[in-house]
Chain A
Amino acid sequence: MNKYFKVTTKTIVATGLGAAIFMLLFMYVKIPSPIPETSFQTAYGISAFFATIYGPIAGGLIGFIGHGLSDALQYGSPWWSWVIASGLSSFIFGFAYKNTGVEDGEFKGQDIVKFNIIQVIGNIIAWMIVAPVLDIVIYAEPVKLVFAQGGIAVIMNSISAGVIGTFFLIAYSATRTKKGSISKK
């Protein structure tokens, strides 16, 4: 378990800069969906990418800080239940950390499947369970409404993390030196 929760200086810096990119994408690079108050957020692809490379602590904080600050800038005040859910989903994405070969320049087949299973589980827990329940507890929103929004969010965020996250991880692994690429003659 320890390998997931080790915090180095790099984790902190990756969190800070990752959250800045998350904010940028969260505010500007998104496609509005036909269902109000939800949109296709490319930012979750980024948080999945950073979480896989820097671990769950970095991932969770990127989601939490990025979503919280961009809400604060756009609406004046964060929508806490969704900010927490963002943090939690990105935290769970982080369990792909060191479980894939992305650092060794290998990210294909099995690794892609593993990453996507983890990210879908993370999205379901965060958006189908935690976000709607917190919406009801904190804001007393109508039950049907929050679960409908949650369902849409699961689908769109899974696509975002799946497509964009996978795409970036493949691109990143291509820049890494392959394991055993040097051999003695």
Chain B
Amino acid sequence: MKNNLFSYNLVDTPIHRLSGLTKLIAFLLLTFAVMFSYDIRVIICVMIFSFYILKVSQIKFSQIKLMVIYVGLFLITNTIITYLFSPEEGVGIYGTRHEIVHLIGRYSLTMEQIFYQTTKFLKYASVIPLGIIFLLTTNPSEFASSLNRVGVNYKAAYAVALTLRYFPDIQREYVDISLAQQARGLDLSSKAKLKDRFKNALLIIVPLIFSTMDRIELISNAMDLRGFGKCKTRTWYNSKSMNKGDFIAIGISILIFIGTILVSIFINKSRFYNPFI
């Protein structure tokens, strides 16, 4: 519970110097490009690019270790259950069948399936560095202003800012309540049965919710008193102005995005790259 999730730290790198707006646009463009394409060549290019940016932004491995573990587990289970549920998915997509070895029943290993699953594995893996870069190099306070500037209603953007602002508070309060309840004898350790542990965890949430409801009242009164939501737009204290670097970064992202779409339309004639024909 005590892990510091927002380990944003200010280092002076070209990536940190970009405005939050640029990073949000680049993140969205690149992730949509990778999500759209099932071409392994495009995916590997984006992957190399994103690892390069990861290196430029000087993110240390210790900062992202937990994420890497989660993602690794996710990718492995996804690979396994995809195979269990549809072992012939690749054959269906690429239209040919090169069987390597027959396993049991409907399960056999085909080149198409291996190719499909490798592509998918890399596809999901290549998005991760992009997200990590975006999260760890963007000032959380600047994030809301960037959302507003890409066209999200400022009230919704403000809600995101509030979430980021109050998440650590709520986390701390959860730990406090949990410790207080444990001191009174509520067992949350692995010695208790799973059912009891779960019930006890819920008993911690009850006070958490009611104190939060009080806090909602308090904050919304304070915001009302300061005239929140009276105008159609608002300005942001934490927004950075755009400079040359920002336009270059957005330009590169747009090029990659358009390139991916063009490769799919003109070279592959579909979202999938088919080496079997």
- Chain A interfacial positions (CB closer than 8 Å to B): 7-10, 12-21, 23-25, 28-29, 31, 36-37, 42, 46, 49, 61, 65-66, 69, 72-78, 80, 138-145, 148, 164, 167-168, 171-172, 175
Contact = CB atoms under 8 A, between A and B. Distances in A.
B265 interface: no
B269 interface: no
Given A61-B156, A145-B85, A171-B206, A13 B162 contact: yes
A12 B159 contact: yes
B201 interface: yes
14 contacts: A9-B229, A10-B217, A12-B228, A15-B163, A16-B159, A17-B216, A20-B170, A29-B202, A31-B198, A37-B78, A75-B70, A76-B64, A76-B128, A145-B85
Grouping DSSP codes into helix (H, G, I), strand (E, B) and loop, the B interface class, with mixed when no group exceeds half, is: helix
Size category of the binding interface on chain B? 35 or more
A49 to B, nearest CB: 7
Given A8-B229, A75-B70, A140-B271, 17 more contacts: A17-B216, A20-B167, A21-B208, A23-B163, A24-B170, A24-B171, A42-B201, A49-B209, A69-B163, A77-B127, A77-B128, A77-B130, A138-B35, A142-B82, A142-B85, A172-B213, A175-B210
Contacts of A171: 206
Contacts of B202: 29, 42, 164, 167
B132 A16 contact: no
Query: Could you say which of B64, B80, B156, B217 has the most chain A C-beta atoms within 10 Å of its C-beta?
Result: B156
